[in-house]
Structure 1
Amino acid sequence: EARSLYAWASGSRHLKVAGISVHIGSQITEVKPFRATMERVAELVQVLRQDGHQIEFVDAGGGLGICYEDSSAPEFSHHVVAYAEAVVRPLRGLKVHLLLEPGRSIVGPAGALLTSVLYKKKNDGRRFLVVDAAMNDLLRPSLYNAYHEIIPTTADSHATTGRENVDVVGPVCETGDFLARDRELPIVNEGDLLAILDAGAYGMSQSSNYNTRPRPAEVLVDGKSVKLIRRRESVTDLLRPESF
């Protein structure tokens, strides 16, 4: 089927056949699927060249995952070396320009969402931490039931031995407005700060102004250097595009 599609594309004056692009999925944390894919791509490159197509580029796509829960996962520096070998080895000798899309694996662990505990409450035997972040700030838990590790940033919270199971929820009036459910956390108090980890990928890019909530600021931390790279939105910002 691929050969017939390339033959059709090469006959169009609006298209130029130049490469192969693949994407096998998301959140893949083993390198074997990438190696198997690129072996098949390497075979296809040779077949298409035999058919007369000039294949100059191979886009290996994205999909390299991160471990949101597994603290025993290998170091990224070691993992990425294995990934690079799995992708590059099958293409050696083909003289193609390799393109990669490893976005999540780079920026995911680099970002954290900081949120403050507004209230603590109990209801029907469940304990809730109501925080000032919400589903509009980090949609993944509500959208995919995705897991993000949450840790207190307050020194006293790290020192305490007490722990409790809580639902971490936002102030938006939606049943899906949660950041964690039935999560065991150190006991924290109103006003304490929590860090929601691995929020660098699909965090701000999926955020919204739902419930007339301005999006938070973004701060870049580089060692001891701190720089505001996106200012906090205001309600005025939300109303500015409106015409009355």
Structure 2
Amino acid sequence: MTIDLPLALDLLGVFFFAVSGSLLAARKGFDLVGSVLLACMVGLGGGVVRDIVLNDGPPAAFLNPEYLLPPLFAAALVYFMVRNVQRSGRLLLMFDAGGLALFCITGTLKALASGMNPVAAVLLGVTTAVGGGILRDITANEVPKVFDPTDLYAIPALVGAVLAAVLWHAGWLNLITGTFAAVAVFLLRLLSLHYGWHAPLASRSWAARRILRVRRD
């Protein structure tokens, strides 16, 4: 029995992101249908954007029914297993970090396999990683994490995409090195949350720094 590794990693990334969507739906008081839809949106959104940009036929999510299973499973898991939705914030961030780590790798590799140059592939890998989260947060009336000045979201995805591209072109990409790259992104994301790391603000003015302190509080 052979395993399609790219497909398996893609589905795993869909599941991680889908759990984050269902957890957010639960925190917002959505019903079960809303939970499934938000899980599908965040789990499949980035991959759909990736496949449209690659222009390689219909997006994989619409060709392969297996892509619908992770969101359904995620919604059922949250429905039966999560008891205190108000305390699930840390769990949501962890699953979101897992999806980010996997999608920035798989998105970059799929772009490279389609013939994109390394720079374009890295950009598409980042887009794949953050796209679903943007759709999730906008739909749930949240500030998208990629635009939150108190957060570090796109940079870990950029690090993972660059690592994937370098490993690909050096001929060092395998299950072990790919796992290392994904784990590095996951840990960087969690460390940034723990220590409050963030990118420089768009302005160095005193007012901008004051706004940042208010948002942190």
Would you call these one fold, judging by a TM-score over 0.5?
no
- Higher relative contact order (CA closer than 8 Å, sequence separation 6+): 2
Higher Rg of the two aligned structures: 1
Q: TM-score, normalization: structure 1? A: 0.27
